[in-house]
Amino acid sequence: MSASGPLIGPLIGRRQALAWLSSASVMALSPGVAFARETRPLYKDARAPIADRVKDLLGRMTLEEKVAQTIALWATKADVMNGLDFDAAKASAAYPDGIGQISRPSDKRGGPGISAAEGGTAARWRTPADNIAFNNAAQHWALEKTRLGIPLLFHEEALHGFMVTEATSFPQAIALAGSFDPALVRRVNGVIAREARARGVPYVLSPVVDIARDPRWGRIEETFGEDPYLCGEMGVAAVEGLQGAGKGERLAADKVFATLKHMTGHGQPQSGNNVAPAEISVRELRENFFPPFREVVERTAIGAVMPSYNEIDGVPSHANRWLLHDVLRGEWGFNGVVASDYGALDDLDRLHHVAADRAEAARLALAAGVDCELPDGLAYRGLTDQVRKGLVSETAIDTAVSRMLAFKFRAGLFENPWGDAKLAARITGNEEARALALEAARKSLCLLSNDGTLPLKAGAQKIAVIGPNAAIARLGGYSSFPKQRVSLLDGLRAKLGGAVIHAQGVFIATTEDNTVNEVTLADPAKNRALIVEAVEAAKGADVILLAIGDTELTSREGFARNHLGDRTDLDLVGEQNDLFEALHALGKPIVVVAINGRPASWPTIAARANAILECWYAGQEGGTAMADALFGDINPGAKLPVTVVRDSGQIPFFYNHKPSARRGYLFADAAPLFPFGHGLSYTSFTVGAPALSATTIAPDGNVTISVEVANTGARAGDEVVQLYIRHLDASVTQPVMALKAFERVTLAPGERRTVRFTLGTKALRIWNVAMKEVVEPGRVEIMAGNSSAKVQSAILAIA
């Protein structure tokens, strides 16, 4: 028996049988019954409960229609396109049972002459009007030309901006994390959501809440840093911006579903290599890697979760039922969609070798709890045959499909799946969005060091801006193609009226094409000639601004053996250190403007530069923000969301290490180059010792901590008050400190403010020796300060 009734296959085809059941047989019934059959189906009633709509629709679906909801098209968009246009006739011929979703409809993958679309130039992407026309044409086909009229899902990337043409590009995730401003992250993601939804896209593949513990890993820029609490708070803020706050069942018209990535262990791969095994114990998972995911699941209505490529204890995440079912759904109560990462099911066969072929990979993933396969559903396409052969139960298919249908009902796609070209033109990259991008860039800049050279004085000094990142606005990985982008040089010329000396200094790589697989560093001989030119140009300046760091090629996702992105050496690549040495020899002040995705583990620069402004990839308005900070029009207030190591020999180095770690090394400084939470200002602050509302609390009690912060300098500025704890009498070893709260405050000169934090069982619980989550009696050190390396403390007793 199928979901739609008895099989009539020996006499007529399935589709013809359904047509007969829905027309000819109805005519033979009494008029009353015929009228009842012609009424609007329950699943099309927007007023009905979603669970009832899912049940009604699922009961009407054939097995083929069910499996179709678990697949997607990306390269296989060629099956439904005539040139670059959606072709309804081709779609009906290729996919008579419908399609679950289309991957990245904004790109031209599958079109003539487009062999790949991982990144690169905007020529590989549709214009906004073409994008919306394609999306709407596909939805018209799904609603009007398929038997049940099930709308399509479209998903896109949205790590730090909706990754399409003309959309707003905000600072990279690691930069936003450094703002220590969840409200800002919430607003940024609100803009991303409305720009996406205006194009008819209800679902995005962000945020990344992996904690990052290895700077060799090229994807570190995509994360919110190394700390579980910070990643969790920023993750919650991002999801609330994308989906809306709370546990609402349905999306608002200007919201999109978010995807938590990548569960889990992705940020501490073996040897820093992307997708390598995560050698992490269950305790380590529960204490550090799970918390950001758990926090988002428990506090929001997160729509989707994406497993990681890596394995944990021999089990790849896409085949890990304990991870995706027992923990995610069973312990935390997640009720959304688990979507595979791109190509991850094929990896179960060709990379991990736990499946003999795609068919077995599909069985493993489905059993683990993966509901849909991205980007093309090549393994899940065979599930129909596997059910017919008795290798997969239709009940397992029903479970996955029910989640996919609920997702579509929650998004309101059955009522309004359309993109709106006029709305998109009005709101995409508009002045409001551009102003927010500038605000986000300003709040993400972190002053790492300063001997008093900064801020500069406009008109009082001749400025030379030199370096490979001076004249280009670097946006980082998974970036949109915004309407405008402002480089450091652009920002300085706008501020100073064009009176800026400029020289290239060096090139980093031989190309700026981000799609290339092999990365070749620029010719050293040519760079040495450029260094000579830069030194000559700098002789006429009073101050040198040196813009150095990474490109989107030298720090990136290494998604294949022929497309690498991880590194063993963390220092500057190419001749950038040579450029610094040559300019330093002039004896002029040098301010390093760090534009990078990987933390700035540059010991020569740190030791000898007069000032370092960490800018990360600051988004489309980054150049304006940098110029504002360099000349004191704004006061930098961001902090480091990661520990910056001196060299790769210190890895892994995270501030919340265990007491037995970080003993030291022969012939080397054991301290980091810059500690977690570090960041300077053009003013000065004092952060007082924590004052506790009670010195003793019960295990189920709360304590309020008051911390006074004062601006003792002559400028207004921002300070981030950071609260850490340490369990002193626990049954298992505990980190030397763990962030539990923070607040960014803006203070005028001379202003004082008391910041209050409340800690309860959630903040004080640990996983004990029996692997139970409890609040243990004992002493807890409460620490407050403006970085992990500068705190004062008080003792709390739990009894």
Which alpha helices (DSSP H) does 522-655 contain, by range?
Answer: 524-538, 576-584, 603-608, 622-630
Would you call 420 a catalytic residue per the annotation?
no
Say which DSSP state 179 is in.
T
- CA–CA separation, 384 and 437 (whole Å): 47
What 3-state DSSP class applies to 254? coil
Residue at 260: amino acid letter: L
- For residue 529, which phi and psi values (nearest 5 degrees)? -65, -40
Dist. CA 753–CA 746, nearest whole Å = 10
Place of tokens 């009720």: 335
Query: Which residues on adjacent β-strands are paired with residue 691?
Result: 706
Asked if 369 and 329 count as a contact pair (C-beta separation under 8 A), the reply is yes
The residues that bridge with 704 in the sheet, in sequence order, are: 758
Catalytic residue, from 214, 341, 346, 371: name it: 341
Distance CA 662, CA 650 (A): 9
Distance of alpha carbon 568 from alpha carbon 198, whole angstroms: 42
Classify the C-alpha dihedral 690-694-700-704 as positive or negative.
negative
Angle at 182 between CA 177 and CA 187, to 5 degrees: 105
Are the C-beta atoms of residues 134 and 152 closer than 8 Å to each other?
no
- At residue 552, the 3 state secondary structure works out as coil
State the residue for tokens 């114990």. 281
Instruction: Tell me the C-alpha distance between 42 and 46, whole Å.
Output: 9
CA 632/CA 531 separation, integer angstroms: 29
Cα separation values, 277 from 212, 289, 326, Å: 14, 14, 21
Task: Compute the CA torsion angle 86, 92, 95, 100 (nearest 10 deg).
Answer: 60
Which pair of structure tokens corresponds to residue 286? Answer: 């529960």
206, 247, 705, 742 from 299: Cα distances, Å: 17, 7, 23, 18
Tokens of 237: 């803020």
Other C-beta atoms closer than 10 Å to the C-beta of 682 total 20
Indicate the SS3 state at residue 200.
coil
Between CA 36 and CA 31 the distance in angstroms is 9
User: How far apart, in Å, are the Cα atoms of 327 and each of 260, 264, 270, 320?
Assistant: 15, 12, 24, 10
How far is the C-alpha of 346 from the C-alpha of 355, rounded, in Å?
9
Helices 50-60 and 394-410 sit at what angle, rounded to 10 degrees? 130
CA torsion sign, 437 to 438 to 439 to 442? positive
CB atoms within 10 A of CB 401: 26
For residue 739, give both structure tokens: 């962030």
Please list the active-site residues: 341
